[in-house]
Amino acid sequence: MVSRLDKREFFVDPLDVGLRIDRWLGDTLEEMTRSGVQKLCEDGFVLVGGKPVNKNYKLRLKDNVTVILPEAKILDIAAQNIPITIVYEDDDLLVVNKPKGMVVHPAPGNYDGTLVNALLYHCEGRLSSINGVIRPGIVHRIDKDTSGLLIVAKNDHAHTHLGQQIKAHSFTRIYNGVVYGRFSQESGVIDAPIGRNPADRKKMCVTEKNSRCAVTHYQVLEPLKGFTHLRFTLETGRTHQIRVHMAFVGHPIAGDPAYGPKKVITQLNGQCLHARTIGFVHPTTGKYMEFTSELPPYYTDFLKSVKLT
């Protein structure tokens, strides 16, 4: 028998008709990767109208999609005693302040030194199993060279509850970033859909084809020499969203090797972007919680180097 927490049902709306089911579920189940969804399809755990479908099934209007999440396999990723900064912890979750340069979870060819390796040691394996052996506990991600806060679930109940908040866009995520150029407006909204870049599958881009809605709010914090310090509030959480949106409007993130200018700022060792504030409703207590982290030294040092006075 599969418990209610292991079974999820969705209905297809007109905007999603024609999409491949693996891509759609990869975006809908924001705590899972597309490859993870494809594996579920291969194993017969993705149903439409009660019947298993292949990963390339094209959605039809009002399809009833059921996803069954099987019991987790025994974790085979090594626990490693890697120091991590825990901002908050209880029996359900942790809030971690990830340093710049740390990969969140293992991937083929990179199974050591990640945040997941550190979490397995710290939590003694007590992490949610929804994302399987590679991403235990990981509800959402931030890029390797983006610093800052992210939440980790210790059990499937917490993971499911937090994932639903992300899907409903009720999850608070505020970033600080330094971008190229100056702004004529003090604030604005970038509403531009994001999908995989057809010319480079490792990158994302603003596109109407096979894309998902993406909305980023920005506010100017301080003008700088050739740059601007901004605050970003995410309404959605697409892959590389802030980096893609800022490049799209002609103000890429300083130091961004993928979406910035060819002559990238090497002193930053990656984009100058920090996940500063995170807020959510606690899955057990029902109380809203919010945490903010200080800007790290790499960030504040760069700010000092480009100040106007």
Alpha carbon 239 to its chain's center: 6
168 pLDDT band, cuts 50/70/90, is confident
Average pLDDT, integer, range 229-238? 95
Average pLDDT, integer, range 232-241? 94
Domain ranges, ordered by start, for the chain: 4-68, 85-165, 172-275+299-305
Average pLDDT, integer, range 200-208? 88
pLDDT in tens, 97-153: 999 999 998 775 567 889 999 999 999 888 887 766 667 888 888 999 999 999 999
Superfamily of domain 4-68: RNA-binding S4 domain (3.10.290.10)
- For the cut 90, the answer to whether the pLDDT of residue 21 exceeds it is yes
More confident residue, 178 or 14: 178
Query: From the candidates 143, 145, 156, 256, which is the catalytic residue?
Result: 143
8 pLDDT band, cuts 50/70/90, is confident
Single pTM value for the model: 0.77
Provide the mean pLDDT of the chain. 89
Q: What is the pLDDT of residue 106?
A: 78
Q: What is the pLDDT of residue 3?
A: 39
More confident residue, 11 or 85: 85
Percent of residues, the chain, with pLDDT higher than 70: 92
143 as an active site residue: the answer is yes
Q: What is the pLDDT of residue 1?
A: 33
pLDDT in tens, 247-269: 999 999 999 999 999 999 988 99
More confident residue, 230 or 121: 230
Domains 4-68 and 172-275+299-305 share a fold: no
- Please state which CATH class domain 85-165 belongs to: alpha beta
Percent of residues, the chain, with pLDDT higher than 90: 63
More confident residue, 298 or 39: 298
Q: Which CATH number fits domain 172-275+299-305: 3.10.20.30, 3.30.2350.10, 3.40.50.1000, 3.90.1330.10?
A: 3.30.2350.10
